[in-house]
Chain A
């Protein structure tokens, strides 16, 4: 019987503890009450609670009532001797003129002794969004000038520095190129020798070496034919060094300006082939004749310069 009386009393006591434990309060506010269309509305939610209470931040999506959420600004907690104030700031805006009611925002929390989340709501906030008041009798004003962006000196300095570096690099490259170009004329001086000048110089050098007189007959014939083949390469643009005697003669036959040397070249190359490939030991007179033939081949094929016809000058009295 006694048990039957105590049980409801205990249950009543437990339920009263839980209502006494709820120290959470929530408050919503705006910085002003009157706004123009498009103005930023600073909307703040403050939740006071104990340290032990676990607060879930309010979830506000893209819109709240008739207002648009521009951005979620900041959220922070302030501690005042164990009493915590959680602040959540939002920037809202309205695009229609009206008396707008920001609806209550639900906040979830859970105390240390709670087994499930509980919720409470903020107070509704009313704001007035109005349009610009136009004075129909007022003066017509011009359109506002575009907003001038203030100069960013850091950026200007950066650009200037980059410009200086580019100019410096360009200067160095041009100086290097000019230095290289100044060397080119010297090289050109060396290669401006005509093919016959090169060949005649080489023949003269070979003569000076006196190879066959020292017994180097094969070397002499190899060198002399190489000079003439190189001469053909440059003079007639033939790959004479890569051609056999018969092939070289065949190509020379096709050149009208080589007609004068065809017979002498045939004798010259064939004789040299005999010495080079058939162990043929020629007489001294043949060796001398080879040099004469080589000179003849070069001298007879020196290109004649075309005489420039001067335009007749009219006899002006």
Chain B
């Protein structure tokens, strides 16, 4: 397809992004980056791991997104006594007719907020992550396809780690993005305070349908990624695996293991989604850099030496971005 025509098409088809963001901003003050990343996850057909202290509108954000899309939303509070059946559903015996019938769990929704995912034991986490990967659920002898769009937003609390079940690296890798959110600015906080104290409830109107998202996903596949951009993505990922080859000798002892091929896929997908949000039919290096931190931060593990020096995977990614030449 001609890039100019594709560009024009994307410009028209991506108009809903502004509408969606405007609608969400009626309720969510600030946190523009979080909202933008939620849409990236939605468009990239990925799931999101959200890390932030309590009270930063994580739940409200996904609830508002669901409302603005007229999609089904469920919140599941993960606790140590949660069972897989509580999540995916189970078979219940009906005494009246002597048969078993299936009671579907809350996972059968478009948007799932898995609140404090690290509080539930491994078997529940596995059940959720399997559903995220396969996008289907099997109860008894019946398999059910999950309704699209299906987005899981799992939250983790960086404080209070006692009695939690941290997600294994292999499972964390299944999340397309890991977003870290911080406190709002002073001005934003003032706005939040006024908005909540005045007693006026801002109602979110549905501005798009789930079908629009599915349509946008198809369009995203058509977005042009030049080979220079592809090489740039590969350079970033490979620099995390063998930093010496990129003149980053000092990182060799700081990286325990680098980003996986799934990171490469998600970085390319995320960059395409970013280009779509920016209403472009082609990816530019800004798109890659813009999403890079969120795609890679949970996929690069640092060594004990790095931890001793209080260096995180984010520092490592920043060093890589500062060293790898932009095409």
Which residue of chain A has its CB nearest to the CB of B323?
Answer: A242
Task: Please tell me if the beta carbons of B327 and A278 are within 8 angstroms of each other in the complex.
Answer: no
Question: Which residues in B have their C-beta under 8 angstroms from that of A222?
Answer: 228, 327
State in angstroms the CA–CA spacing of A247 and B323 once bound together: 15
CB interface residues, B 221-276, toward A, < 8 Å? 224, 226, 228-229
Q: Chain A's interface: helix, strand, loop or mixed, by majority?
A: helix
Given A276-B327, A278-B7, A278-B281, A244 and B226 touching (CB < 8 A)? no
Please give the distance in Å from B317's CB to the nearest CB on chain A: 13
Which residue of chain A has its CB nearest to the CB of B285?
Answer: A244
Residue tally, chain A, CB below 8 Å to B: 15
Q: Which of A239, A244, A246, A279 is the one whose CB lies under 8 Å from B224?
A: A279
Please give the distance in Å from A251's CB to the nearest CB on chain B: 13
Please give the distance in Å from B218's CB to the nearest CB on chain A: 20
**Residue from B281, B283, B286, B321 whose CB has the most chain A CB atoms within 10 Å:** B286
Question: Which residues in B have their C-beta under 8 angstroms from that of A242?
Answer: 321-326
State in angstroms the CA–CA spacing of A245 and B280 once bound together: 16
Interface check A241, CB cutoff 8 A:
yes
Interface check B217, CB cutoff 8 A:
no
Task: Please tell me if the beta carbons of B282 and A278 are within 8 angstroms of each other in the complex.
Answer: yes
State in angstroms the CA–CA spacing of A246 and B286 once bound together: 7
Please give the distance in Å from A149's CB to the nearest CB on chain B: 59
Interface check A53, CB cutoff 8 A:
no
Task: Please tell me if the beta carbons of A276 and B326 are within 8 angstroms of each other in the complex.
Answer: no
Interface check B289, CB cutoff 8 A:
yes
Question: Which residues in A have their C-beta under 8 angstroms from that of B281?
Answer: 278
Task: Please tell me if the beta carbons of B286 and A276 are within 8 angstroms of each other in the complex.
Answer: no
Task: Please tell me if the beta carbons of B228 and A277 are within 8 angstroms of each other in the complex.
Answer: yes
State in angstroms the CA–CA spacing of A218 and B270 once bound together: 25
Interface size range of chain B in the complex: 20 to 34
Interface check B19, CB cutoff 8 A:
no
Interface check A207, CB cutoff 8 A:
no
Task: Please tell me if the beta carbons of A280 and B325 are within 8 angstroms of each other in the complex.
Answer: no
State in angstroms the CA–CA spacing of A278 and B326 once bound together: 16
Complex interface bits, A244-269 against B, C-beta within 8 A gives 1, otherwise 0: 11110000000000000000000000
State in angstroms the CA–CA spacing of A279 and B286 once bound together: 17
State in angstroms the CA–CA spacing of A244 and B228 once bound together: 13
Task: Please tell me if the beta carbons of B325 and A277 are within 8 angstroms of each other in the complex.
Answer: no
State in angstroms the CA–CA spacing of A277 and B321 once bound together: 19
State in angstroms the CA–CA spacing of A290 and B101 once bound together: 71
9 A-B pairs with the lowest CB-CB distances in the bound complex, closest first: A278-B282, A244-B285, A244-B286, A277-B226, A279-B3, A241-B325, A278-B3, A277-B284, A277-B282
B residues whose Cβ falls under 8 Å from a Cβ of A? 3-4, 7, 224, 226, 228-229, 280-286, 289, 321-327
- List 29 contacting pairs A-B, 8 Å CB cutoff, sorted by A: A239-B322, A241-B325, A242-B323, A242-B325, A242-B326, A244-B284, A244-B285, A244-B286, A245-B285, A245-B286, A247-B286, A247-B289, A273-B284, A276-B226, A276-B228, A277-B224, A277-B226, A277-B282, A277-B284, A277-B327, A278-B3, A278-B224, A278-B226, A278-B280, A278-B281, A279-B226, A279-B282, A280-B3, A280-B4
Give 13 A-B pairs besides A244-B285, A246-B286, A279-B282 with Cβ atoms closer than 8 angstroms: A222-B327, A244-B289, A273-B284, A276-B226, A276-B228, A276-B327, A277-B226, A277-B228, A278-B3, A278-B7, A278-B282, A279-B226, A280-B4
